[in-house]
Structure 1
Amino acid sequence: MPRFPARAASLLQYRKDPVVMWTIRATAAAVLSYAVAVRLSSEPAPLTAPLTALLVVQVTLYATLTTGVRRVISVVAGVLIAVGFSAVVGLSWWSLGLIILAALTVGQFIRVGEFVNEVAISAMLVLGVTQLASQAWDRVLETLIGAGVGLLFNVVLAPPVWVDPAAESIVGLARRTRNLLLGLGEELDGPVPVERAAGRLYEARRLDQAVADVDAALRQAEDSLRLNPRISEGLLARLVLRTGLDTLEICVVVVRVLARSMTDLAKRRKEDEPLFPADTAQALQELLADVGAAMVSYAVLVTTPVSDNAEQAENRLAAELSAAWDHRETVADMLLHGVQQHPYAWQLHGSLLAEIDRILDEMDLEHRTQRLLQELDRAAAARHERSARLAGLRRLARVGRGRFGQSARSARREG
């Protein structure tokens, strides 16, 4: 009995996985399209319908609607090319080469973008099972059935909103960066070999790939919010997450520069000489810990819905930023005195403070509000421009209908 909650939690975890959900939805859409095609098509095995459904169904509704048309065009083009070839030649190595060449060429002309290969793939698959030109319309019908079922499947049963995985990845990036800052702080009061400092720098550089992974998860979350009937304020949620990730990305870049400064400082120290005196190292360690904690609180803030929890996260971030600024002033005084003992390192000491200042400035609450308002104004301007363009098209259409009606009336009077 105790195992049941664990299994239930495991199933819920799988439900949050976009790959798992896409696999289930694509399978269901393919089977449904096959069942419909069996009833409507004269082919005994209408496999083109589930093939098209697999190509059309995407992780998000927005991706399905935006890419579905191009996928349908690419599949239909491949089917028509295949049935055209099957009416003239059979399947052989040279006919296969010709059909691939023709399909890729046609795909470039019809501008299906990244789905050019699917023109050739559809043509090859259909050529393998089609040898009669009379089956062309059946293949086209199956393609339309698969496309229609795939589109309706995602419209009627809207895919989940992938905001939670994106939010978890943003918080995970902040925690990973905090751990790196804590690791840097632990080594400040003793001798640091250049190899170890270079290892920290390499770890900081690997955060770039983590940022790319988070960006991919966020783009998927943004697509899941677009055109989704479940979401009423999708634009605000998208902008909050996007501006939050942009800030964290800047902080990650600055942390990498900070690790570089530490490495350069280790190169200038003697093998048995610590990077900083004990009191300075302690103060700098506390400062880096405050900066890391503030980054995590910032990530929690931008991924928390507008509620009491969000207000608590904002208060926590404000307190941690205030503590970090206080420690920063203490560290600045200590580094100023340390320059007298190591005048050759004053540029590196100054760069450390400048990098920490940049991170704290980026996470400032007022800065975050201004950036969010700018993005909202930009989105509102873009929406207004689209509305104005559509209004202009409607006016042109009304003018065209008016002129057509006037010409028709004049023709009737003359007649």
Structure 2
Amino acid sequence: MAPTPSRLVARLRQPSRLPLLQVVKTSLAVVVSWILCFVILDQALPIFGAIAALLVVQPSINQSFGRGLERSAGVVMGVALAYGVGALFGHDQTWIVLVAVILALLLAWVVRLTPTSSTQVPISAMLVLSVGVVTPGYAFDRIIETVIGAVIALLVNALIVPPVLLGPAHLALGRLARDLGAALDSLASALETPTSRIDLDAALTRARALRDLQARAAAGVTTGEESLTLNPRAKRQRRILEADRALLGTLSNLVHRVVAMTRSLRDNYDPDLVDDDVVAGIADELRRAAHDVRLLVHDREENAASGSGGTAPESELPALTAPLRVLAPDPEHWILIGSLLEDLRRVREELVGEK
């Protein structure tokens, strides 16, 4: 099937725009790099300093540092390789440039450079052998330009509103907690009212989808952690990140429990379960657990909105109290009941903190 124009356009666009602040910072880094390279190196067109600044301003300071290091290392290696090839074969033949490019790619492969450095090595070697032959000092100026651009970009990114990317983690954790609560409520409903096989299969599908939300939340926490590395604002935000990481651990364990409970119910379901008093107690505990899971993020969202940490109203206090105890389960359903009770015990341990 041939790609439509709309699909081709979609490949060129991102789901969301870059923050306007990053665009402004990138522009500022390019301008400052251009001016400094012009003044220090007397370069009329300091293109490579500007390119370095464009590439090094990243969503986090840690990424900026890594990108600057990658680009600078690639330039130095490319220049050194070009000098070596030129010394061995001279500069008179066109094929020497091709040899240098191939050797640069092989060098990047041997030392396992990152994609940024792997591309920069052959580009630098090619430019030195082609342009540098007729421009004295070209190779050295190229290295200095790149370093200036990278350093300026890093400083701009670090000193002007250093990016703190904790928002995606908050959003992902909030959605994960709410969907976990919905999955627990769905389990309770299946135990309280007769449920068809189709509905049980759908519930298991929704429970397994929690793993994708868990992965997104984990990626959000990782992004937040990376944004605080080398960040001057990290000290004030570190406590929030630690809370997010702890919450992610709790919710991740709950995802495993919910998937296991839903699978057990789907595999061992019997319509007569709705008449079992023990099962009714399990359903009640599941609803309490669902309430407490949502409360994990509700408290943080309320405190963030109000700017205070006041006492929650009684309806928003944790609902789980004493663990459910069963002395004599139904002999026909004891496998399912035992499995649900064990998973429910572990859910309670995660929420109440008793292990």
Smaller-chain TM-score bracket: 0.7 to 0.9
Cα distance change, pair 212–316 in 1 and its aligned pair in 2 (3 A): farther
Map 1:258-277 → 2, pairs under 5 A: 258-266=261-269, 269=270, 273=271, 275-277=273-275
Aligned length: 330
Asked whether the equivalents of residues 96 and 124 of structure 1 are also in contact (C-alpha less than 8 Å), the reply is no
Q: d(CA) in 1 for partners of 2:310 and 2:81?
A: 60
Shift of 1:211: 1.4
1:216 aligns with 2:219: yes
1:105 aligns with 2:107: yes
Secondary structure of the 2:321 match is helix
Q: Which of 340, 348, 351 is 1:360 aligned to?
A: 348
The letter of the residue matching 1:102 is A
Secondary structure of the 2:117 match is helix
The letter of the residue matching 1:222 is E
Shift of 1:239: 2.2
Alignment correspondent of 1:162? 165
What does the per-residue CA deviation read over 1:141-160, in whole Å, with 9 as the maximum and x for residues that have no partner? 22112111111112221423
Q: Which of 305, 321, 325 is 2:321 aligned to?
A: 325
Asked whether the equivalents of residues 105 and 122 of structure 2 are also in contact (C-alpha less than 8 Å), the reply is no
Cα distance change, pair 355–184 in 1 and its aligned pair in 2 (3 A): same
Q: d(CA) in 1 for partners of 2:350 and 2:48?
A: 53
TM-score, normalized by length of structure 1?
0.66
What does the per-residue CA deviation read over 1:230-285, in whole Å, with 9 as the maximum and x for residues that have no partner? 3544443332221221111111111111111111123xx3xxx3543286665544
Alignment correspondent of 2:294? 296
Cα distance change, pair 281–364 in 1 and its aligned pair in 2 (3 A): closer
Q: Unaligned regions of 5+ residues in structure 2, if any?
A: 1-15
Shift of 1:294: 0.8
Q: d(CA) in 2 for partners of 1:346 and 1:278?
A: 11
Q: d(CA) in 2 for partners of 1:223 and 1:178?
A: 29
Greater helix share, structure number: 1
Asked whether the equivalents of residues 49 and 145 of structure 1 are also in contact (C-alpha less than 8 Å), the reply is yes
Asked whether the equivalents of residues 173 and 217 of structure 2 are also in contact (C-alpha less than 8 Å), the reply is yes
Secondary structure of the 1:228 match is coil
Secondary structure of the 1:276 match is helix
Secondary structure of the 2:191 match is coil
The letter of the residue matching 1:348 is L
Shift of 1:56: 2.4
Q: Which of 120, 133, 138 is 1:122 aligned to?
A: 120
TM-score, normalized by length of structure 2?
0.76
Cα distance change, pair 366–357 in 1 and its aligned pair in 2 (3 A): closer
Alignment correspondent of 1:390? none
Alignment correspondent of 1:73? 73
Alignment correspondent of 1:54? 54
What does the per-residue CA deviation read over 1:320-368, in whole Å, with 9 as the maximum and x for residues that have no partner? 2xx3335x63xx55x945x14x2xx31221111111111111122577x
Asked whether the equivalents of residues 188 and 274 of structure 1 are also in contact (C-alpha less than 8 Å), the reply is no
Cα distance change, pair 88–293 in 1 and its aligned pair in 2 (3 A): farther
Q: d(CA) in 1 for partners of 2:346 and 2:20?
A: 40
Q: d(CA) in 1 for partners of 2:197 and 2:20?
A: 44
Asked whether the equivalents of residues 49 and 145 of structure 2 are also in contact (C-alpha less than 8 Å), the reply is yes
What does the per-residue CA deviation read over 1:24-72, in whole Å, with 9 as the maximum and x for residues that have no partner? 5445434543444344445554332233223322222234345543442
Shift of 1:197: 2.1
What does the per-residue CA deviation read over 1:175-233, in whole Å, with 9 as the maximum and x for residues that have no partner? 12112222233333444343432332232222222112111211222233344333544
Map 1:125-136 → 2, pairs under 5 A: 125-126=123-124, 127=126, 130-133=130-133, 134=136, 135-136=138-139
1:348 aligns with 2:336: yes
Secondary structure of the 1:178 match is helix
Q: d(CA) in 2 for partners of 1:31 and 1:85?
A: 35
Secondary structure of the 2:311 match is helix
Alignment correspondent of 1:225? 228
The letter of the residue matching 2:131 is Q
Asked whether the equivalents of residues 194 and 274 of structure 2 are also in contact (C-alpha less than 8 Å), the reply is no
Alignment correspondent of 1:144? 147
Map 1:200-215 → 2, pairs under 5 A: 200-215=203-218
Alignment correspondent of 1:188? 191
The letter of the residue matching 2:150 is A
Q: d(CA) in 1 for partners of 2:157 and 2:26?
A: 10
Q: d(CA) in 1 for partners of 2:287 and 2:21?
A: 39
Secondary structure of the 2:58 match is coil
Secondary structure of the 2:114 match is helix
Q: d(CA) in 1 for partners of 2:40 and 2:32?
A: 13
Q: d(CA) in 1 for partners of 2:109 and 2:41?
A: 26
Cα distance change, pair 248–17 in 1 and its aligned pair in 2 (3 A): farther
Q: Which of 174, 179, 192 is 1:176 aligned to?
A: 179
Cα distance change, pair 366–107 in 1 and its aligned pair in 2 (3 A): same
Map 1:369-408 → 2, pairs under 5 A: none
Q: d(CA) in 1 for partners of 2:72 and 2:313?
A: 47
Cα-Cα RMSD: 3.7
Cα distance change, pair 124–291 in 1 and its aligned pair in 2 (3 A): same
Shift of 1:164: 3.0
Cα distance change, pair 227–119 in 1 and its aligned pair in 2 (3 A): closer
Shift of 1:20: 6.0
Q: d(CA) in 1 for partners of 2:336 and 2:93?
A: 73
